[in-house]
Amino acid sequence: MFDSLVAANILQRPVRALVSVAGVALGVCLVMLFTGLARGMSNDLERRSSNMRAEILFTRPGSKELMTSTVNLSTRYVEELERIAGVEAAVPVIRYISQGSRGFGIEQVEGVEWAPYAAMNGMRLIEGRAPEGNNEVVIDETKARNNRVGVGGEIQIFGNRAYRVVGVYSPESGARIKMSLAAMQDALETPNKCSYVLVKCRDANEQRVIAERIDAALPGNKIQFTNELVLNIEKSIPYLGVFLRTLVGLAAVVSALVVMLAMYTTITERTREIGVLKALGASRGYIISVIEKEALLISFLGLVIGFAVSFIAGHLIHRTYGLVFEYGWSWALTAAAIGLGGGALGALYPAMRAAGLDPVSALSYE
């Protein structure tokens, strides 16, 4: 009787039930999509950055950050770095970051001298050739697949400027789009400048000793070890944790308020029905349990729909824009707790109010 009563209450007012389910699903989608995007993009960036074989990143203070990059380092440092004992190779790089070509996300482009850069990082062209002209680029396999473009195709960079794809490389390392260093310097009007210099050591075990030699020979610059730079990119994004926790809190509030409003309105409409139940001997605990289980059923349906919509939306966004989503069990459990807990808490006040109704007053309610 209990389960049939709960189901009958939901089926009696299907529109209100669907709105409540949608409210819970919205909270779950907010948590899953944003946390999945943050996790996926940071892990993707970390994975690509970890493919760099250089041990040291040499730059000017403040010029190389995670999401910004200035071009203020003279390429003359390359020759000076190569003269330091223990340095096998030094390769200048310009990193340019802008809005994605489709108006969504960000796009990273690197200007490199292809031959030494590819040799340092163990990269190879699997199709086409290296970029030479000012309007030529190479892309990695993932970029080619996501954008459905290959050798001979075009991509938009620097706003609406068209660049011809002349090669596809593997494995992925750093930015997915690369052009010649000279072409990047020309596009940004920064001759003889770069963002940073990648330094490859003859013996990787001596990288700290070599870093000390570099600092002594070229003081006033910034030296970073690449293995520390990509240790955990997600943690280095300013206030990402605060943003995600705030998002989770808002999702919980949205779920609780939607369910509370729906249950409060429902109880007002069922005042006479509640009076009948109490006149037949229904206890306070029974009334509360009926309303709470109805709220939990609504929350559970919202939870299932929210998960389904999140996975479908993530897949579609990935296919359309190439953004990476990685869903984790911890955030999935958090979303489930928000959906179910928010629904239960939201229905608590309406349930207690219903349980406290006077049977005589409830039966005479119009």
pLDDT of residue 1: 43
Q: Is the sign of the CA dihedral 202, 206, 207, 213 positive or negative? A: negative
pLDDT of residue 347: 77
For the chain, 366 residues long, give each residue's pLDDT as a single digit of tens: 445 666 766 777 777 778 888 888 888 888 888 888 877 877 777 777 667 788 999 998 865 554 556 888 999 999 999 999 999 999 999 988 866 555 555 678 999 999 999 999 889 999 999 999 889 999 998 888 888 888 989 988 877 788 999 999 988 877 889 999 999 999 888 999 999 999 999 998 999 999 999 999 999 899 988 877 655 455 555 566 677 777 777 777 777 777 677 767 766 666 667 677 777 777 778 878 887 888 888 888 889 998 999 999 988 887 777 677 888 888 888 888 877 887 777 777 777 777 776 666 655 655
pLDDT of residue 290: 80
Give the residue from 218, 241, 240, 236 showing the smallest Cα distance to 65.
236
Rounded CA-CA distance 201/225 in Å is: 11
Helix, strand counts (H, E) of the chain: 14, 12
Residue where the block lists tokens 């109880």: 267
Domain ranges of the chain: 2-43+239-363, 53-229
Rounded CA-CA distance 51/211 in Å is: 20
Burial of 257 (0-12, 13-18, 19+ CB in 10 A): middle
The phi-psi region of residue 174 (left if phi > 0; otherwise alpha if psi is between -120 and 50; otherwise beta) is: left
pLDDT of residue 361: 62
pTM of the model: 0.65
Rounded CA-CA distance 304/295 in Å is: 14
Residue 96: partners with Cβ closer than 8 Å, 6 or more residues away:
69, 108, 109, 110, 111, 158, 184, 188
Question: 3-state DSSP call for residue 281?
Answer: coil
Rounded CA-CA distance 183/310 in Å is: 41
What is the helix, strand, coil percentage profile of the chain, to 5?
55, 20, 25
CA–centroid distance for 203 within its chain: 36
The tokens of 341 are what? 């807990």
b/e map of 310-337 (b: 16 or more CB within 10 Å)? beeebeebeeebbbbbbbeeebbebbbe
97: β partners: 108
pLDDT of residue 267: 67
HEC profile for 287-312?
Answer: HHHHHHHHHHHHHHHHHHHHHHHHHH
pLDDT of residue 2: 44
Question: 3-state DSSP call for residue 232?
Answer: coil
The tokens of 245 are what? 């926790």
Start-to-end CA span in the chain (Å): 26
Extended beta strands in the chain, E state: 56-59, 73-74, 87-99, 106-112, 124-128, 136-140, 154-157, 161-170, 177-180, 193-194, 196-201, 222-225
